Structure 1
């Protein structure tokens, strides 16, 4: 209103001054947004535990400032009377700029989310670190394709045929790479769901055991204790029943089956067995020293009264050493105490045949 009132006095300088004022206002708005993000939002995000909000604020800061300046330039150009004949061209140009601006905004936002996911959610493993660039490239390609189609549509270019062609081409590629894509998405599922991770000791439903050495795009590598390597397709692994001996914790129980003769004093057997177990736990590497071992009688066997001794180790592979030491120590103590571990025997009774 003020400019309109002063226009007769400003003459030929009126439009120039109006453009300058619009640019100055857009700069002021950009500075105000920058101040709000820096002093207000940023201080709030610093108080949260997650870094996602910090990364998002940093990602959108420059695009928002750029958007404010571009808005000022747009209105400035439309305010110039000698450019009124080029209004349609200006609109088309800024349509392109707007599409590119939205694409930039989305790319920076998605990149911030992917970085946060890689730093706070995914484990620091080689396989998962390799997946971050893949996620980023896929996101960039999707955003780029959407931006291209949107831009073509805004410029009046028919995209129906192009979309149909892309759909048919994508279907053909998907069919040609069906097995590869199946393994790839199975690998992504394993990394996202994380039923296993590198370094875990697992057992498959096929009976194979070993340490997870690598989770790749197509296969997962497992190293057995015998230093052999098993290579499993990700699709097969994702559909298998897996026992993870390192989840939820590495510490686990070890059950050792034992049997004593029927003539044994079971109270004495229990007392001696627990005493031996405690001593072995304290001196064996990898055993949980403060664990209280116990036994449970379970059946009357053919030759012995069978029971289980429950011990505890810090991780799965320690069970072999602990079982080894416990069996040696228990046999030695049983021999000393006169406790019999009976040989497998079978009594056969013959019926007497009457002789006429």
Structure 2
């Protein structure tokens, strides 16, 4: 079956009037009779539609015209409508084709209710205000009274809620007061101007309605922004201060910034749509720009997610001591979303490292309070020294150090005769300490005590030396 469009399918109509749309149907199937069922649907408030016929039988090459009548609302309803017509084609009782078409209708002028006060009540004013000007005047006065009444009630509610311990109700009322009054004012202006529809050009009326739509969009998103900023973010920060975790303290400012950007972009998109501006090019351009920015900022994005990983997985925390892959000892001062700040002991400087570097490299954490700590020292003594005397002197040094852990049997110090070196007998000392946050101080004190105790015991601490023999040749 062929649907032939023989009409204009975008028309204007006055309130309470009707408009016709026509389609011609043709059976192009040779040798088959077709039964066509037609359905119409229109979901807009106050609008209705009916068909000249709901079913038609077409023989081969036969034509017929279908008419849909659209009825516009008289008093109130939507200012435009979309009619959908569905054609179902049957052959020998079987559904063989479904097609559809649509038509757009818009009301010009105003509803009949525009000649009534607030759209419902007759104008009670005497001459010369028993006309649209009187309706307009009464509408303005009533809407001003409504606005003042709402403001008075809300101020009274605020005065009551201030006596409560909770600040939430005060914040919410403070946020919604101005937007609600602005919406009432804007709607009152639009509704009041309907009474003057005979004196207002159609293009000016459309501009007012467009501006009204933009105002609604911005008021709604302003409310969303204020509720997000002053309630969700505010209470999120309050809760974050009470938790021991650092992740919420860092992520909440990020969520705050991202939320503001998302709300702003959404508000702009809806505002442009209210202005009947095609967003296709903006969406396509936004996708391209997003891809370019993602490629250009891939290092920053990598650091961002690495920072989240560091905060969630917590391989180390602020205040920990770590050893980097290059051997530098550092104190972790701050873990950010892009970089981590470290205090390097070797040159007493603050350094900032990208988070993806810390995530992808080997890091040694030496100050986890939940793990036992140990220091290792290699001690060289002269050849000829008695190993037992060496062990005794080293044990005295361990006992003299205030950092040595001597109270646990499973953490006893070990003194091993490790090797016989080129210039010395090498002993390896493994000593557990009682504070793993003081490994450097513990090692320093242990080496000092070992040196003193070996000297007291008269045990030689050799330095590397070579004996060179010169061969003397006889002349």
TM-score bin (small chain): 0.5 to 0.7
Structure 1 match to 2:287:
167
Structure 1 match to 2:445:
322
The alignment partner of 2:278 has SS state of coil
Aligned residues: 311
Question: Could you report, residue by residue, the CA deviation over 1:313-338 in whole angstroms, capped at 9, with x for unpaired residues?
Answer: 453332232222332355367x39xx
| Structure with more of its chain in helix, by fraction | 1
| Structure with more of its chain in strand, by fraction | 2
8 A Cα contact 1:221 1:232, kept in partner? yes
8 A Cα contact 2:397 2:446, kept in partner? no
Alignment partner of 2:275 out of 155, 179, 186: 155
Work out the CA distance in 2 between the residues paired with 1:31 and 1:210: 58
Work out the CA distance in 2 between the residues paired with 1:82 and 1:154: 20
Structure 1 match to 2:179:
67
1:23 Cα deviation (Å)?
Answer: 1.3
Work out the CA distance in 1 between the residues paired with 2:193 and 2:340: 67
Work out the CA distance in 1 between the residues paired with 2:140 and 2:419: 107
Alignment partner of 1:80 out of 183, 189, 192: 192
8 A Cα contact 1:295 1:307, kept in partner? no
TM-score, structure 1 length as denominator?
0.62
Structure 1 match to 2:234:
112
8 A Cα contact 1:199 1:212, kept in partner? yes
> Any unmatched runs of 5+ in structure 2?
1-117, 198-204, 421-425, 463-475
1:274-353 to structure 2, matched below 5 A, reads 277-281=398-402, 287=403, 292=407, 295-296=412-413, 308-313=430-435, 314-331=437-454, 335=457
Structure 1 match to 2:359:
238
Work out the CA distance in 2 between the residues paired with 1:150 and 1:262: 89
The alignment partner of 2:434 has SS state of strand
Quick one: higher RCO (CA 8 Å, sep 6+), 1 or 2? 1
8 A Cα contact 1:212 1:223, kept in partner? yes
8 A Cα contact 2:140 2:189, kept in partner? no
Structure 2 match to 1:23:
147
Work out the CA distance in 1 between the residues paired with 2:240 and 2:429: 49
The higher radius of gyration belongs to 2
> Any unmatched runs of 5+ in structure 1?
45-53, 282-286, 344-356
TM-score, structure 2 length as denominator?
0.49
